[in-house]
Amino acid sequence: MSLQNGWIKMARKIPERPQVYQLKVAMNECNPETMIAMVLERPGEPLRRMRLPLPVPGPKELLIKVHACGICRTDLHILDGELASPKLPLIPGHEIIGTVIDRGEQARDFEINDRIGVPWLGYTDGSCSFCKSGRENLCDEAGFTGYTLDGGYAEYAVADQRFCFPISSSYSAVQAAPLMCAGLIGYRSYRLATHEPGLEVKRLGIYGFGAAAHIVCQIAVHQNKEVYAFTRPGDETAQQFALRLGAIWAGDSNRQPPQSLDAAIIFAPVGSLIPAALRATGKGGIVVCGGIHMSDVPSFPYSILWEERTIKSVANLTRRDGLEFLEIAPKVPVKTDVQTYPLEQANRAIEDLRHGRITGAAVLDMNL
Q: Does 138 bind Zn ion (CB under 5 A)?
A: no
Nearer to Zn ion among residue 151 and residue 257 (C-beta): 151
Nearer to Zn ion among residue 97 and residue 101 (C-beta): 97
> Which residues 208-237 are close enough to bind Zn ion by CB under 5 A?
none
Stretch that binds Zn ion, among 176-184, 217-225, 304-312, 327-335 (CB under 5 A): 176-184
The single-letter code of the amino acid at 274 is I
Q: How far apart are CA 8 and CA 27, in angstroms?
A: 13
**Site size toward Zn ion, by CB under 5 A:** 8
Of residues 278, 283, 234, 235, the one with CA closest to residue 257 = 278
Stretch that binds Zn ion, among 19-27, 131-139, 189-197, 249-257 (CB under 5 A): 131-139
Q: Phi and psi for 117 in degrees, rounded to 5? A: -120, 145
Among 47, 74, 100, 116, binds Zn ion (CB under 5 A): 74
Q: Phi and psi for 21 in degrees, rounded to 5? A: -60, -45
Q: How far is the CB of 281 from Zn ion (least distance, A)?
A: 25
Q: How far is the CB of 186 from Zn ion (least distance, A)?
A: 9
Residues ≥6 apart with Cβ < 8 Å to 155: 1, 2, 3, 32, 35, 36, 37, 65, 66, 343, 366
Q: How far is the CB of 363 from Zn ion (least distance, A)?
A: 12
Chain-centre distance for alpha carbon 11: 38
Which DSSP state fits 62?
Answer: E
Q: Does 72 bind Zn ion (CB under 5 A)?
A: yes
Q: Does 139 bind Zn ion (CB under 5 A)?
A: yes
Longest dimension (CA), the chain: 80
Nearer to Zn ion among residue 8 and residue 128 (C-beta): 128
Q: Does 124 bind Zn ion (CB under 5 A)?
A: yes
Q: Does 181 bind Zn ion (CB under 5 A)?
A: yes
What is the DSSP pairing of strand 361-365 with strand 61-71?
Answer: antiparallel
Stretch that binds Zn ion, among 51-59, 109-117, 134-142, 264-272 (CB under 5 A): 134-142
| Helix H or strand E segment including 228 | strand 226-231
Nearer to Zn ion among residue 179 and residue 273 (C-beta): 179
Give me the residues that bind Zn ion (CB under 5 A), please.
Answer: 72, 74, 124-125, 128, 131, 139, 181
